[in-house]
Amino acid sequence: MEPVQVERFYLGCLAHASYFISSRGVAAVIDPQRDVEIYLEAASRQGVRIEHIIETHLHADFISGHRELAERTGARIFMGEGSGAQFPHRAVRDGDRIEFGNCVLQFLQTPGHTIESVCVVMTDKGQPGRPKAVFTGDTLFVGDVGRPDLSPNHTPRQLAGLLYRSLHEKLLALPEDAEIFPAHGAGSLCGRQMSAESSSTIGKERRSNYALQARSEEEFVRLLTESLPPRPEYFARDAELNRQGAAPLDQLAPLRGLSAGEARRLQSEGAVVIDTRPAIQFGAAHVPGAVHVALAGQYASWAARVLGLDTRLIVCAEDAEHVRESQVRLARVGIENVSGYLEDGISGWIGAGYPADSIPQIGAHDLAGLLETGRERTVVLDVREPQELAGGAIDGSIRIPLGELAGRMGEVDGSKTVVAHCKGGYRSSIATSLLRRAGFREVANLTGGFDAWKAAGLPYSLPEAGAAG
């Protein structure tokens, strides 16, 4: 009997995993990304038709393509009961099933990350009686569990209690060797300690997942709700857009080119230039007031966190291909208010006679020299997350996670030279652009970040317990 096929699609820029399950000419897609062409291509390649679309919950960190995929294939959408979804769908409860070919998909209601969260247990009829895998959405990750603060009607403690029962009464009741396939990996905002591994098993998670080591529901609730990182503001908006069902991505018109003069006028009216080039290029020359979010990293997520969904944007990129990629990736998180792109990039801006700004990119030994000769005139700003500090921190640095920087700039002494760093230099370049935009003049980015500082053999210390915030 031909085994059921499972194909994983992973979007590194959003740390998002979706799944294409096929058997005997029929397929199901779980947690689709917004640009759905990849699933249509997979169906064509395998000679199958997509009949089922499953959302494990209303995603808050990206826009789903469920509506467009359903319209283009005629497939039916399945969601957990209580989602309030405003598009045609089937609300599922414990024990509901989908069968096609040799595949059986059974739903488990697993509230906790959200109220309507479900997990999907897959059984292959060629191996009946033993679940082969479970698609855990944002309920159970490799190394972590979902954050419990995404409901407008339930407190984090209430959701954490529900999540504990979902995990222990339902997921951990599955066989030890059942493979788990979560909706996110390392870098996602939906958890704190996710592994980079693409899958695991129920048994491995029972033994090694920190959240599953809690000895009681009370301890689990405390573990999940203490020091919970702030929820990005755009999460609520994305969840609502997913509840309504986003418009097809192909309705986005190609961005139009803007002359330097047009871009400057739009800036004066409140538009923000988002510069997607590598940090070294941005640092050398950029449009004054531009926010730097390099396309090479978790671009869309950081753009949404630091700029929101409604800010009018102008893209500055290397070429037309990068402009289009920028537009698609912004749309994946619900950012569509983009006026256009700067024609000829920064060279066109300078060629038009407008001034450019720059931010020094300095090496680890350069920073060490600054601290040796003028520590009293230098601020080291560490924008990493608190859990990253376990590996060490530069002595005397102030620590403000990038996601909190906009609201905490008053803690940074603008009369001194501010050198920002993160792990490798990506987030700190964003930080330097935000600081410069806010009026900080003496700003620099540590190239290579803390990794480069350690590799250079320069001194650092381990923060004391409780000093990571």
Q: What are the domain boundaries of the chain? A: 5-238, 252-351, 361-455
Say which residues have a Cβ less than 8 Å from residue 455's Cβ, sequence separation at least 6.
364, 448
Spatial distance between the Cα atoms of 230 and 111, rounded to a whole number of angstroms: 21
What is the predicted pLDDT for the residue at 244?
96
Q: Mean pLDDT across the stretch 291-316?
A: 96
Q: Mean pLDDT across the stretch 338-361?
A: 97
What is the predicted pLDDT for the residue at 194?
87
Q: Mean pLDDT across the stretch 290-304?
A: 95
Spatial distance between the Cα atoms of 319 and 316, rounded to a whole number of angstroms: 9
Q: Mean pLDDT across the stretch 42-60?
A: 98
Query: Is the confidence at residue 465, as pLDDT, over 70?
Result: no
Using the CB atoms, write b or e for 310-345: b if 16+ within 10 Å. Answer: ebebbbbbeeeebbbbbbebbbbbbbbebbbbbbeb
Tell me the residue length of the chain: 469
Say which residues have a Cβ less than 8 Å from residue 237's Cβ, sequence separation at least 6.
309, 334
Topology agreement, domain 252-351 and domain 361-455: yes
Active site residue 422: yes
Main-chain phi, psi angles of 12, to 5 degrees: -60, -30
What CA dihedral angle connects 41, 46, 47 and 53, to 10 degrees? -60
State the fold for domain 361-455: Oxidized Rhodanese; domain 1 (3.40.250)
What is the predicted pLDDT for the residue at 121?
98
What is the predicted pLDDT for the residue at 313?
98
What is the predicted pLDDT for the residue at 366?
96
What is the predicted pLDDT for the residue at 462?
87
Main-chain phi, psi angles of 308, to 5 degrees: 75, 180
The structure tokens listed for 227 are 């020091």
Spatial distance between the Cα atoms of 396 and 66, rounded to a whole number of angstroms: 49
Q: Mean pLDDT across the stretch 248-252?
A: 87
SS3 of 233, please? coil
What is the predicted pLDDT for the residue at 468?
40
What is the predicted pLDDT for the residue at 186?
87
Confidence band, pLDDT 50/70/90 cuts, at residue 128 = confident
What does the mean pLDDT of the chain come to? 95
Q: Give CA separation, 59 vs 33, 63, 190, 261, in Å.
A: 10, 7, 10, 39
Spatial distance between the Cα atoms of 130 and 133, rounded to a whole number of angstroms: 9
Q: What is the pLDDT of residues 385-444, one digit of tens each?
A: 988 999 999 999 999 999 999 999 999 999 999 999 999 999 999 999 999 999 999 999
Confidence band, pLDDT 50/70/90 cuts, at residue 469 = very low
Determine if the pTM surpasses 0.85: yes
Specify the CATH number for 252-351; select among 3.40.250.10, 3.30.70.980, 3.40.50.800, 3.40.50.970: 3.40.250.10
Query: Is the confidence at residue 10, as pLDDT, over 70?
Result: yes
Spatial distance between the Cα atoms of 253 and 251, rounded to a whole number of angstroms: 6
Query: Is the confidence at residue 126, as pLDDT, over 70?
Result: yes
DSSP codes joined into one string, 112-148? TSSTT-EEEEEEETTSTTS--EEEEETTEETTEE--S
> What's 186's DSSP letter?
T
Q: What is the pLDDT of residues 181-202, one digit of tens each?
A: 999 998 888 877 788 899 999 9
* Residues forming beta bridges with residue 90, ordered by sequence position: 78
Task: Specify the CATH class of 5-238 in words.
Answer: alpha beta
Q: Give CA separation, 94 vs 18, 84, 104, 117, 326, in Å.
A: 22, 18, 14, 11, 40
What is the predicted pLDDT for the residue at 464?
66
What is the predicted pLDDT for the residue at 252?
86
